[in-house]
Amino acid sequence: MPELPEVETTRRGIAPHCEGQVISAVTVRNPSLRWPVPSDLAERVSGKRIQSADRRAKYLLIHLEDGTLIIHLGMSGSLRVITDNAPPMTHDHIDLTLESGTVLRFNDPRRFGCWLWTDSVDRHPLIESLGPEPLSEAFNGELLFQRSRSKKTPIKNFIMDNHVVVGVGNIYANEALFKAGIHPRRQAGRISLDRYRRLAEAIRETLSAAILMGGTTLRDFVNSDGKPGYFAQVLLVYGKTGSPCTQCNTLLKEIRMNNRSTVYCPRCQR
């Protein structure tokens, strides 16, 4: 599933091609995504100028003059910039054609993504209750500490809760907890402020590095320019069960939490 770094990589890829451009046409080949594509989408956005391409959590936000397109890549989606008149493929469900001739093409084999329209993005039910962005000034160890008091939930589940902080998906939760030296099953409410400060910095560091490297290479993900990300080449624990820890040489262990792979060092993470 594309995570925050992959979505941010996509945003940075499409922004130079679409910002300031007028939408000349919308082609919806298959409206049956996670939620149906609005039947009047073409009518709402055609002829409108794109003011900016932003991101909130894992949602791409295409701001127009009088509203916002909310795009989610789902489990297998990608949004690519097409400049060579390439014909659509089997799972290319939506084209956003710009006055320049460039096309933003949405591909989603599993159709778990979405294209929605809103007049007020901050009050949209998918957006309004989200926690702070992990790379923003609003996110820090103090916030995590305050929100975790009396919480018995495991710390890995806690930091993956989008109401606490957005965008810390499974891969990056594994990596950040390893860097902070925290066992993924430790109760969130039993972690000290100092350790939360280290964890917040580890989350920030991990996501920033992933964005710089273009996201994590996953089977279903390609960047807007069609090139895969490269962060998977430097993962420290995720997908490395049985390998020696990079810090102490202890063999990494794997457990399942909420049906997700969780890899950790039994010596370094307490």
Which residues contribute to the annotated binding site for DNA?
A: 91, 110, 151
* Cα(153)–Cα(157) distance, integer angstroms: 7
Binding site membership: which residues?
Answer: 91, 110, 151
Annotated catalytic, 58?
yes
User: Among 2, 134, 154, 184, which one carries the catalytic annotation?
Assistant: 2
- Hey, CA dihedral for 233, 238, 241, 245, is it positive or negative? positive
For residue 98, the SS3 value is strand
User: Among 11, 55, 56, 58, which one carries the catalytic annotation?
Assistant: 58
* Cα(163)–Cα(111) distance, integer angstroms: 25
Could you write out the DSSP letters of every residue in 104-167?
EEEE-TT---EEEEES-GGGSTTTTT----TTSTT-SHHHHHHHHTT--SBHHHHHT-TTTSS-
User: Among 3, 6, 8, 175, which one carries the catalytic annotation?
Assistant: 3
Which residue, chain included where needed, has tokens 């919480």?
151
CA neighbor of 145 nearest in space, from 219, 198, 79: 198
Element (H, E) at 204: helix 193-212
User: Among 197, 204, 260, 267, which one carries the catalytic annotation?
Assistant: 260
Contacts of 211 (CB under 8 A, 6+ apart): 5, 8, 9
- Residues taking part in catalysis: 2-3, 58, 260
